[in-house]
Chains A and B, each alone.
Chain A
Amino acid sequence: MSDQTKSWLETRLPLASSMQSCIWNMKMAVEKPYLAALGSLITATLIFLTLSGFVLSLFYVAAPGAAFDSIQFISRNVDNGWLVRSFHATGATMLFAATYLVVFRTLLTGGYRAPNELTWILKLVFLGLVLIIGYFGYAMADGAVSYWSLHETTVAGARLTSFPGAISNWVFGGPAGPGTLGRVAVLHSALALLGFGVLALHLAAKRAVAPVPTKTVTLHPYYTSHHFVAFAVFALIFAVLVFFAPHWGENQLNLAAANPLVVPAVLTPPWYLLPVSAFAAASSSPLGSIFLVLAGFAVLFAAPWLDQSKGTKPGLFYKILVAVLALDVFGLCMAQADGPSMLSSILSTIFIGWYFLHFLVLSPLATAMESKK
């Protein structure tokens, strides 16, 4: 671009100067940890998933049976289709890993406390949204496990009455039929775009309550290079998974085509849906499952108000409790991934019980104790 074109464009659309003042020269606090880059990484991963999902959607056929075949076609016939499919599946894994990490880090550092209640709620809204998108994506795979999972979800949903039943019918169009996958596919991409809106709201809310830093540096070159390092590590993990374990965390039975007359022995979802799946599996009635999942989210949403710290920094006891909670959720996922058995059912009940105990009793007690010192 010549200088003349530049000034012509600049007077009409001052992109370069606003980039200069709003992005490159933005004042940032010094010595932010590398994990502070997770927000940028989540945004980048969502953009990446949108692009790879767009390419997959060019070939995807949203119909039972045909969907599985179209994914096989993508893997075998489309130029680099196997890679794009691995990109998308592994991108989902990375997005969930980063999102879960952000949620646990916020719990650990007490980042949900006033005045950060709203940023915490938006983080949880984003987590809930990606869980729904993730479930829809898993259903779209149309393998043996996906097929039966969608079947059972929609049949249970159609049996519900009043409002929950109406939502299920609006989303799935009744028990899984020829049109269900089409709805799921459209919602999968539409909600993904909504995710960008939630991320933008979160960023705006975070900036509004961020303390004014005493010592600052400009974003460029300090935090661009900082993010570049974080991004390189993130991309390295991503690349290792893409090229050496593209199906990591998936149920292997889902790589087989569905048989409408044979239910697979173990209906476990991909790893990132295991916590929700474990909460849902703890009750035998559909309404009970919905209640448990919502309750599991409700205690997270209520964390800022259950907290009794009154502004003091989280102490060691509280941090140990959060670390135990992380182990608890990990154990819950392991028990759920193991498939239905007496042992895993007992363990799941204990782990879920500890989860609620943590948020409703232990965490308020620990923060109250630590604020008195």
Chain B
Amino acid sequence: MANTATHTASDEVEAPAKRDFLKILTVSAGAVALGATAWPLIDAMNPTVSELAVAKPIVNVGGIAPNTALRIMWLGQPIYIRKLTPQQIADNQFIVPDTLPDPASYTDRVKPGYETFVVVVGLNTGISCELLGNSPSDARGPFDGWSCPCDGSIYDPLGRVRSGPARKNLAIPRFTFLNDTQIQFG
């Protein structure tokens, strides 16, 4: 192409098409190179695998005895995972939601297929205060759930508020059951 001595008339006619092709090729190669350089910089801003592992912990719930709760910390907050007894289920299953301060049915508070587990954030929804009642020997209040040592709010085993200054049910964190014995948060 650079050799002018061999230029012919047909070369001159074809040249624009050739030039367009070379232009498209060069610009696309440049764009690909730019993208390949920018990608590592953008990808590096993602959370690292170790940070994701902390953010989405897997918890073994197979060892929780009925009528007790496991306390774990997740995202800086206490999470209570409670295994219900048949008695507690029977007591709370058929309560009409509208009679409660913050209406919620039994099925709203548990995951389908894993109805014996209640997973809640263990902080009172009035004054933010960690609740008592994970162990049967704790002060659980009249509904055999949780009670707040700070303002006296009472919750049932499903984490629904029954009385006290608090007006909202206990928050339910985002989680999924991986199988019968493992749940993953996040």
Please list the residues of chain A having a beta carbon within 8 angstroms of any beta carbon in chain B.
Answer: 48, 51-52, 55, 58, 73, 77-81, 83-84, 87, 225, 228, 235
In the assembled complex, the Cα of A87 lies from the Cα of B43 at a distance in Å of 14
Contact of A51 among B41, B43, B48, B49 (CB under 8 A): B41
In the assembled complex, the Cα of A48 lies from the Cα of B41 at a distance in Å of 10
Contact of A81 among B26, B30, B44 (CB under 8 A): B44
**Can you list 15 residue pairs at the A/B interface with Cβ under 8 Å?**
A48-B37, A51-B41, A52-B41, A55-B44, A58-B44, A77-B48, A77-B50, A79-B44, A79-B46, A80-B39, A80-B44, A83-B40, A83-B44, A87-B41, A225-B26
Given the known interface contacts A55-B45, A58-B45, A77-B49, the answer about A87 and B26 at a Cβ–Cβ threshold of 8 Å is: no
* Size of interface on B: residues with Cβ below 8 Å to A: 14
Q: Residues of B contacting A83 with CB < 8 Å?
A: 40, 44
Look across to chain B and name the residue whose beta carbon is closest to the beta carbon of A81.
Answer: B44
- Asked whether B33 lies within 8 Å of A80 as measured between CB atoms, the reply is no
Q: Mark B25-60, 1 if CB is under 8 A from A, else 0.
A: 010001001000101110111101110000000000
Nearest chain A CB to B42's CB is how many angstroms away? 8
In addition to A58-B44, A77-B49, A228-B26, 16 A-B residue pairs with Cβ atoms within 8 Å of each other are: A48-B37, A51-B41, A52-B41, A55-B41, A55-B44, A73-B48, A77-B48, A77-B50, A78-B44, A79-B44, A79-B46, A79-B48, A80-B43, A81-B44, A83-B40, A87-B40
Nearest chain A CB to B102's CB is how many angstroms away? 41
Nearest chain B CB to A79's CB is how many angstroms away? 5
Please list the residues of chain B having a beta carbon within 8 angstroms of any beta carbon in chain A.
Answer: 26, 30, 33, 37, 39-41, 43-46, 48-50
In the assembled complex, the Cα of A51 lies from the Cα of B45 at a distance in Å of 12
Nearest chain A CB to B32's CB is how many angstroms away? 12
Nearest chain B CB to A277's CB is how many angstroms away? 31
Q: Residues of B contacting A78 with CB < 8 Å?
A: 44, 48
In the assembled complex, the Cα of A156 lies from the Cα of B110 at a distance in Å of 67
- Asked whether B43 lies within 8 Å of A79 as measured between CB atoms, the reply is yes
Nearest chain A CB to B24's CB is how many angstroms away? 14
Nearest chain B CB to A91's CB is how many angstroms away? 11
Nearest chain A CB to B20's CB is how many angstroms away? 12
Q: Residues of B contacting A79 with CB < 8 Å?
A: 43-44, 46, 48
Which of B45, B49, B50 has the most C-beta atoms of chain A within 10 angstroms of its own C-beta?
B45
List 4 A-B pairs, minimum CB-CB distance, nearest first.
Answer: A80-B40, A83-B40, A77-B48, A84-B44
- Asked whether A228 lies within 8 Å of B30 as measured between CB atoms, the reply is yes
In the assembled complex, the Cα of A99 lies from the Cα of B44 at a distance in Å of 29
Look across to chain B and name the residue whose beta carbon is closest to the beta carbon of A229.
Answer: B26
- Asked whether A84 lies within 8 Å of B41 as measured between CB atoms, the reply is yes
In the assembled complex, the Cα of A80 lies from the Cα of B30 at a distance in Å of 21
Q: Residues of B contacting A52 with CB < 8 Å?
A: 41
Q: Residues of B contacting A48 with CB < 8 Å?
A: 37
Nearest chain A CB to B26's CB is how many angstroms away? 7
Contact of B33 among A51, A55, A87, A235 (CB under 8 A): A235
Q: Residues of A contacting B41 with CB < 8 Å?
A: 51-52, 55, 80, 84, 87
Nearest chain A CB to B30's CB is how many angstroms away? 7
Look across to chain B and name the residue whose beta carbon is closest to the beta carbon of A221.
Answer: B23
In the assembled complex, the Cα of A83 lies from the Cα of B39 at a distance in Å of 11
